[in-house]
């Protein structure tokens, strides 16, 4: 008789684990019908996300308040949820000029889990708590788990709450087991997946939409946009350097050569050049106005007009 203890198994009760009657014959239909079935299920996601927008708005407002006070945002997820989190956090850096680490993503199993699944890491409460060791009272902790019960996320949420952080659970299960571990639960009711349990489908899409909404709305509130233009983007490649000029020309209606000169005069600072052009002020005055306005272009322009 073997002395080895067999691995434990758990039957997860969550909508994402249920069989979807609409796709019961998905393996017996032509390819185009497979795609129609998948697309029909995907089409349910925006409404499910729409239902949690009022609660998401509260999360955005609290996140902005904490970021302004010097806090950070931490995403925690396992598997697909962790990969969605890493993608959202990473893209904020070039898109909005956000310093690395202000929004940090933690994935169960570490960075290697981005490309090679480390499925057992999801079951570690201690792993989530360890990854949350850097969380502080002024921070925001966002746990992502499709089923709403991943032990890794449980560990992170509990550690975040113990540190005094603001805690948020993002799931695809309105009755998530971890809901009471978070200050706010954003449970998008996406229903059974097209392939039972394959949460890389609707649940992941909902998580991406929620995180995109959270981070983008927060960046807008913090002044990283003017109108619907990115004015803090980092021009780190040829395409983005061209986009900087495009933003200036679209925002001001002025010729490209005028915008290029203003950008050069502003030492390459897009926001400074924008305030110079729209407010008809010198770069130093534009910088002072932006500093006084906490980086908000509209407020800086209003202040410049009064001086």
Which tokens go with 286? 């534009």
Q: Which of 8-17, 131-140, 144-153, 218-227 has the lowest mean pLDDT?
A: 8-17
Give percent above pLDDT 70 in the chain.
Answer: 96
Residue 2: the pLDDT is: 45
Residue 213: the pLDDT is: 98
**Number of helices followed by number of strands (H, E) in the chain:** 12, 7
Q: 261: which residues sit within 8 A by CB, 6+ positions away?
A: none
Active site residue 122: yes
Local confidence band at 120 (pLDDT 50, 70, 90 cut-offs): confident
Q: How far is CA 307 from CA 25, 281, 283, 304, in A?
A: 70, 10, 15, 5
Local confidence band at 1 (pLDDT 50, 70, 90 cut-offs): very low
Q: How far is CA 196 from CA 20, 26, 220, in A?
A: 7, 12, 37
Distance CA 256, CA 253 (A): 9
In this predicted structure, the answer to whether residue 307 has a pLDDT above a threshold of 90 is no
Q: Which of 1-5, 125-129, 290-294, 296-300 has the lowest mean pLDDT?
A: 1-5
Spell out a b/e string for 107-123, using b for 16 or more CB atoms within 10 Å of the CB, else e. Answer: bbbeeebeeeebeebbb
When pLDDT is averaged across residues 28-45 and rounded to a whole number, the result is 98
Residue 236: the pLDDT is: 79
For residue range 183-240, what is the model confidence (pLDDT) as tens digits? 999 999 999 999 999 999 999 999 999 999 999 999 999 999 999 999 998 787 888 8
Residue 63: the pLDDT is: 98
Residue 293 near residue 303 (C-beta atoms within 8 A): yes
Active site residue 91: yes
Give the dihedral of Cα atoms 296, 299, 302, 303; nearest 10 deg: -90
Of the residues 10, 18, 41, 91, which is catalytic?
Answer: 91
When pLDDT is averaged across residues 233-259 and rounded to a whole number, the result is 92
For residue range 93-119, what is the model confidence (pLDDT) as tens digits? 999 999 999 999 999 999 999 999 887
CB atoms near residue 290 (< 10 Å): 23
Residue 237: the pLDDT is: 87
**Could you tell me which residues are beta bridge partners of residue 187?**
171
* ∠ Cα 104 107 110 (to 5°): 105
Of the residues 10, 17, 33, 122, which is catalytic?
Answer: 122
For every residue of 48-113, which 3-state class applies, written as one string? HHHCCHHHHHHHHHHHHHHHHCCCCEEEEECCHHHHHHHHHHHHHHHHHCCCCCCEEEEECCCHHH
For residue range 71-90, what is the model confidence (pLDDT) as tens digits? 999 999 999 999 999 999 99
């Amino acid at each position: 008789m073997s002395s080895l203890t067999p691995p434990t198994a758990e039957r997860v009760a969550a909508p994402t684990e249920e069989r979807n009657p609409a796709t019961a014959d998905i393996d017996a239909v032509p390819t185009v019908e497979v795609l129609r079935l998948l697309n029909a299920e995907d089409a349910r996601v925006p409404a499910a996300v729409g239902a949690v927008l009022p609660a998401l708005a509260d999360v955005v407002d609290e996140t902005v308040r904490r970021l302004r006070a010097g806090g950070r945002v931490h995403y925690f997820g396992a598997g697909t949820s962790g990969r969605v989190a890493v993608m959202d956090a990473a893209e904020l850096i070039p898109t909005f000029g956000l310093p690395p680490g202000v929004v940090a993503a933690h994935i169960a199993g570490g960075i290697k889990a981005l490309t090679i699944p480390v499925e057992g890491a999801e079951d570690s409460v201690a792993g989530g708590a360890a990854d949350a060791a850097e969380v502080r009272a002024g921070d925001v902790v966002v746990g992502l788990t499709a089923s709403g019960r991943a032990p890794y996320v449980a560990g992170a949420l509990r550690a975040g709450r113990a540190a005094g952080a603001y805690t948020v659970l993002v799931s695809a299960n309105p009755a998530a087991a971890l809901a009471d571990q978070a200050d706010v639960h954003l449970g998008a009711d996406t229903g059974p997946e097209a392939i039972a349990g394959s949460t890389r489908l609707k649940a992941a899409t909902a998580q991406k939409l929620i995180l995109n909404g959270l981070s983008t709305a927060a960046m807008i509130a913090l002044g990283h946009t003017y109108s619907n233009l990115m004015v803090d983007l980092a021009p780190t490649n040829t395409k983005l350097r061209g986009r900087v000029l495009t933003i200036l020309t679209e925002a001001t209606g002025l010729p490209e050569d005028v915008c290029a000169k203003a950008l050069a005069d502003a030492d390459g600072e897009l926001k400074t050049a924008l305030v110079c052009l729209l407010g008809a002020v010198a770069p130093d005055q534009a910088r002072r106005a932006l500093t006084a306005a906490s980086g908000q272009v509209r407020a800086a322009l209003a202040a410049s007009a009064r001086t």
